[in-house]
Amino acid sequence: MREITYRQALNEALKEEMERDSTVFSAGEDIAIYGGAYGVTADLWKKFGDDRVKDTPISESAIVGIGIGAAMTGMRPVVEIMYIDFIPLCLEQIANQAAKIRYMFGGKTKVPLTIRTEGGTGRSLGAHHSQSLEAWLLHIPGLKVVMPSTSYDAKGLLKSAIRDDNPVIFIEHKMLYNIKGPVPEEEYTIPIGIADIKKEGKDVTILSYSRMMLFSLEAAKILEKDGINVEVIDLRTLLPLDMETIKKSIKKTNKVIIVEEDTKTGGTGAEVGMKIMEECFDYLDAPIKRIAGADVPMPKSPVLEKIAIPQIDDIIREVKLITS
């Protein structure tokens, strides 16, 4: 199978959905002529023009608000918020409007809006361009939150997000854009809300997503040489969470480690871990372990930045502890 980057996979998904459905359009800061801060919308403007690939002013609230209004009246917008760190600027529109409109209006409208954004550390960009704020968003009923880790998942899930009649927050990772992976030429989609077992194993379950997924797989590969057989599950969607796949795995391994890049307190792992306590407690042979980001604003220094998020060695150490 051909291999393409995560960036190319996203670009293909956008291009194909815009070709397939004339109500799909993209809007955001620097997405048209420039092609997006990370190049995801490259060349779409040349192909579809100003009407359907729209550069916007630096006005995050209005970008999302316009997306909502257009979605309620027959369009299928894909808006880009350049960094997840800019989500606080438009959180009112996301949390109070996009997520709640259908429910507040008694199901009499839908908001088929995709909000693409990008997060995570790795480029030494400091505290305003490196956050992982997904936990804020999965606290909001009415949203779906998707975080792919591979090219294949990125393309299939973005297509599903665009076709979904609900608001979907689609969170990419800045360090994944250049990573290549197999993506078939032919059309496919991946359903939202389904986790993926990226590596089967029997000794311990690792639950992860986005870039930490890749770190977890690396760690699992190394641990395999030590005779420790790790099952690695890519959550892919954080809201709704695929508890069936999680439960099945924990029944088999009886141990679980959650690996996440976001800050630990009130983070994704807190929610996932508590759900496991509620639904899988009887199958657990050890306390749930979280390996998460440090509870600090992301520091600029590459040295500090690296130790502020989980590393492969941390995962190896914790797996050895829990399986010993």
Residue placing its CB nearer to another protein in the complex, 7 or 144: 144
Looking at the Cβ atoms of 71 and 81, the one nearer to another protein is: 71
Report the C-alpha gap between 168 and 68 in whole angstroms.
Answer: 12
Q: Does 281 bind another protein (CB under 8 A)?
A: no
Nearer to another protein, 21 or 200 (CB): 21
In the complex, least distance from residue 144 CB atom to another protein, rounded to whole angstroms: 8
Contact call for residue 101 and another protein (CB under 8 A): yes
Q: How far apart are CA 93 and CA 99, in angstroms?
A: 8
Walk across the sheet containing 237-239 and list its strands. 53-55, 24-28, 76-81, 114-119, 168-173, 144-146, 237-239
CB of 86 within 8 A of CB of 94?
no
Q: Which residues of 17-30 are buried (b: 16+ CB within 10 A; e: fewer)?
A: bbeeeeebbbbbbe
Q: Is 19 part of the annotated catalytic residue set?
A: no
CA–CA distance from 167 to each of 55, 75, 145, 297, 318 (Å)? 21, 13, 9, 28, 36
User: Torsion over CA of 99, 135, 54 and 178, rounded to 10 degrees?
Assistant: -150
Does residue 102 bind another protein (CB under 8 A)?
yes
Give the ranges where 197-254 is alpha helix by DSSP (H): 211-225, 243-253
Number of residues located near another protein, criterion CB under 8 A: 41
Q: Which window, 93-101, 172-180, 223-231, 307-315, contacts another protein (CB under 8 A)? A: 93-101
Out of 34, 49, 109, 277, the only residue in the binding site for another protein (CB under 8 A) is: 109
Pick 106 or 227: Cβ nearer another protein? 106
- Alpha-carbon torsion angle 258, 262, 264, 268, nearest 10: -60
Residue 160 binding another protein, by CB under 8 A: no
> Catalytic pick from 17, 80, 118, 129?
129
> Which tokens go with 172?
């990419």
* Residue 92 touches another protein, criterion: CB under 8 A: yes
Tell me if 25 contacts another protein by CB under 8 A: yes
Under a CB-based contact definition with an 8 Å cutoff, are residues 148 and 154 in contact? Answer: yes
Question: For this structure, is 260 an active site residue?
Answer: no
Q: Which one-letter amino acid corresponds to residue 117?
A: T
CB of 141 to another protein, least distance (A): 6
Segment near another protein (CB under 8 A), from 73-81, 123-131, 179-187, 254-262?
A: 73-81
> Rule CB under 8 A: which residues touch another protein?
25, 51-52, 54, 56-57, 59, 61-62, 64-75, 77, 92-93, 96-97, 101-110, 141-142, 144, 165-166
The residues carrying an active-site annotation are: 60, 129
